[in-house]
Amino acid sequence: MATERRWGRWGRWLGWVVLVGLVVLAAIQFVPYGRDHTNPPVVQAAPWPDERAAEIFTQSCAACHSNETDWPWYSQVAPMSWLVYRDVIDGRDEMNFSRWDADDGEADDAIEAIEDGSMPPLRYVLAHPSARLTDEETQILVDALRRMDD
């Protein structure tokens, strides 16, 4: 009898927590941040020296570092939309391969980030396992960036 009473209280408490959580989730859908998914035009595409390097870039980097972002379904649902949008905006601000004309030697920074393993970031690789760079892909991308930076 005491066990039933205890679980009854926990059940009600859990029900309220779930209900409040659902209400908050529904309410945050009305926050407009992270919903602008228009890609700016490509001003000057990066001059990738070979097709393989361009393919690796597209697979592992372009979503955040170009104006050719393919917005996944979860980028429409808050709070994920906030995180995805922030990552894309920050990535484009850091280095945008669709504005190669504005490159100010940032390829060296990109090379360093790729070599030290901070790019692509773990949170992106967890959501997109195909973006994980092998040692060979890392070397191809780094070599291509070095040639492009000359």
| Tens of pLDDT, residues 3-23 | 556 667 788 888 899 999 999
What pLDDT, on the 0 to 100 scale, is given for residue 39? 95
pTM for the whole thing?
A: 0.82
CA distance 135 to 113: 14
Taking 80 as the threshold, does the pLDDT of residue 2 lie above it?
A: no
Q: What mean pLDDT comes out for the span 58-83?
A: 94
Cβ proximity of 74 and 124 under 8 Å: no
Question: If you average pLDDT over every residue of the chain, what do you get?
Answer: 90
pLDDT digits (tens, 9 = 90+) for 94-105: 999 999 988 677
Q: What mean pLDDT comes out for the span 76-104?
A: 91
Segments making up each domain of the chain, as ranges: 1-30, 51-149
What pLDDT, on the 0 to 100 scale, is given for residue 10? 82
What pLDDT, on the 0 to 100 scale, is given for residue 89? 95
pLDDT digits (tens, 9 = 90+) for 121-134: 999 999 999 999 99
In 10-111, beta strands by DSSP E:
none
Query: CA torsion 68→71→75→81, rounded to 10°?
Result: 10
CA distance 79 to 77: 6
CA distance 11 to 4: 10
CA distance 121 to 1: 52
